[in-house]
Structure 1
Amino acid sequence: MSRSDDEHFHVRPGPPKARGGARPKAFVAQVLKAASASGAKPRRTAGGRPASRFGRGRVAAGAAGRRLPTNARRVVVKSRYVVLRRAGKAGVRAHLRYIERDGVRRDGLPGRAYGADTDAADLEAFEERGRGDRHQFRFIVSPEDAAELEDLPGFTRRLMEQLATDLETSLDWVAVDHWDTDNPHTHVVLRGRVGRGRDAQDLVIAPDYIAHGIRLRASEIATEWLGPRTEREIRQGWQREVDQERLTGLDRELVQRGGTSGSVTLQSVAGEARSVLREDLLRSRLQRLEGLGLAHRVGPQRWQLGVGLQDTLAAMGRRGDIVRTMHRAMAGEARELITDSAPGAPVVGRLQAKGLDDELLERPYLVIDGLDGRAHYVTLPVGSDLSALPVGGIVACGPPQLGRSADRLIRAASTDGRYEEAMHRASLVASGHGEPDQVVQACRRRLEVLRRGGVVTRVGEGVWHVPEDLVERARAQDAARTSARVVELRSALAIEQQVGAEGATWLDRQLVGTASTQTPPAQAGFGAQVRQAQDARLRVLESRGLAARQGQRWVLARDLLRTLTAREVQRSGEDLAARAGRLWRPVNDGEPVRGVYRHAVQLTSGRFAVLDDGKALRLVPWQPVIETRRGQELSVVLRGTSANWEVGRTRGIGR
Structure 2
Amino acid sequence: MVIKARYTPMRGGSRAAAVHLRYLQRDGVTRDGAPGQLYSATSDRADGSAFLDRAEGDPRQFRLIVAPEDGPQLSDLRSFTRDLMRQVEQDLATKLDWLAVDHFNTGHPHTHIVIRGVDELGENLVIAGAYLAHGIRERASELATIELGPETMLEQQQKLQLEIDQEKLTRIDRALLREAGETTDGVVDTRATGNERHADFDRHLRIGRLQVLQRLGLAQEIDTGRWLLKPQMEQTLSHLGEQGDIIKTMHRAMASQKVERGAEQIVIHGKDEAIAAPIIGRLLGRGLSADELGDRVHLVIDGIDGRTHYIELPTGVAGVDSAPIGAILEVGAAGREPRAADQNIARLAKEHSGIYRPADHFADARADPGIADPDAYIEAHIRRLEALRRAGLVERVDADHWRIPTGFEQHAALHDAGRSPAVSLRVLSTLDLERQIASDGAAWLDRQLIGRDRLPVTMAGFGAEIEVALDQRRRHHIAHGDARRDGKGRVFYRRDLLARLEGRELARVGAEIATTRDQPFRLATRGETIRGTYRETVQLASGRYALIENAQEFTLVPWRPVIERSLGREVVGLVTDGGISWQLGRDCGLGL
State the TM-score, normalized to the length of structure 2.
0.85
1:512-531 equivalent positions in 2, closer than 5 A = 512-513=450-451, 516-531=452-467
Corresponding position: 1:223 with 2:148: no
SS of aligned partner of 2:467: helix
* Aligned 8 A contact 1:172 1:190 in 2: yes
Q: Where in structure 1 are there 5+ consecutive unaligned residues? A: 1-73
Letter of the aligned partner of 2:5 in structure 1?
A: K
1:244-643 equivalent positions in 2, closer than 5 A = 244-259=166-181, 262-270=186-194, 275-331=199-255, 333-335=260-262, 336-340=265-269, 343-357=275-289, 358-382=291-315, 384=317, 386-404=320-338, 406=340, 418-422=353-357, 425=361, 434-435=370-371, 458=395, 460=397, 461-467=401-407, 484-513=422-451, 516-550=452-486, 551-643=488-580
Aligned-residue RMSD, C-alpha: 3.5
SS of aligned partner of 1:404: coil
Q: What is residue 46 of structure 1 aligned with on the other side?
A: none
Deviates more, 1:213-222 or 1:425-434: 425-434
CA distance in 2, matches of 1:356, 1:150: 27
CA distance in 2, matches of 1:93, 1:457: 36
* Aligned 8 A contact 2:87 2:139 in 1: yes
* Aligned 8 A contact 1:645 1:654 in 2: no
CA distance in 2, matches of 1:511, 1:373: 19
* Aligned 8 A contact 1:596 1:631 in 2: yes
Residue 296 of structure 1: how far off its partner (Å): 2.4
Check 1:304–1:428 CA distance in 2 against 1; reply closer, same or farther (3 A cut). Answer: farther
Letter of the aligned partner of 1:201 in structure 2?
A: G
* Aligned 8 A contact 1:418 1:465 in 2: no
CA distance in 2, matches of 1:501, 1:258: 65
SS of aligned partner of 2:515: helix
* Aligned 8 A contact 1:644 1:654 in 2: no
* Aligned 8 A contact 1:343 1:484 in 2: no
CA distance in 1, matches of 2:435, 2:202: 59
Number of residue-to-residue matches in the alignment: 571
Deviates more, 1:77-86 or 1:545-554: 77-86
* Aligned 8 A contact 1:372 1:522 in 2: yes
SS of aligned partner of 1:359: coil
Residue 192 of structure 1: how far off its partner (Å): 4.9
Residue 485 of structure 1: how far off its partner (Å): 2.5
Deviates more, 1:301-310 or 1:201-210: 201-210
Q: Percent identity?
A: 41
Residue 379 of structure 1: how far off its partner (Å): 0.9
* Aligned 8 A contact 2:221 2:228 in 1: yes
SS of aligned partner of 1:634: strand
CA distance in 2, matches of 1:122, 1:414: 53
Check 1:544–1:614 CA distance in 2 against 1; reply closer, same or farther (3 A cut). Answer: same
CA distance in 2, matches of 1:85, 1:447: 24
SS of aligned partner of 1:78: strand
Residue 505 of structure 1: how far off its partner (Å): 0.8
State the TM-score, normalized to the length of structure 1.
0.77
Q: What is residue 87 of structure 1 aligned with on the other side?
A: 14
Q: What is residue 243 of structure 1 aligned with on the other side?
A: 165
Residue 519 of structure 1: how far off its partner (Å): 2.1
Q: What is residue 80 of structure 2 aligned with on the other side?
A: 155
Letter of the aligned partner of 2:7 in structure 1?
A: R
* Aligned 8 A contact 1:547 1:555 in 2: yes
* Aligned 8 A contact 1:577 1:616 in 2: no
CA distance in 1, matches of 2:59, 2:240: 38
Letter of the aligned partner of 2:282 in structure 1?
A: R
CA distance in 1, matches of 2:565, 2:144: 47
Letter of the aligned partner of 1:308 in structure 2?
A: Q
Q: What is residue 120 of structure 1 aligned with on the other side?
A: 45
Corresponding position: 1:201 with 2:138: no
Kindly provide the CA deviation profile for residues 94-147 of structure 1, in whole angstroms up to 9, marking residues without a partner as x: 333322221111222222233334433344454555557665443222212212
2:110 to 181, 185, 191: 185
Q: Higher relative CO (CA 8 A, sep ≥ 6), structure 1 or 2? A: 2
Instruction: Pick the structure with greater CA Rg.
Output: 1
* Aligned 8 A contact 1:636 1:645 in 2: yes
CA distance in 1, matches of 2:48, 2:405: 54
Q: What is residue 15 of structure 1 aligned with on the other side?
A: none
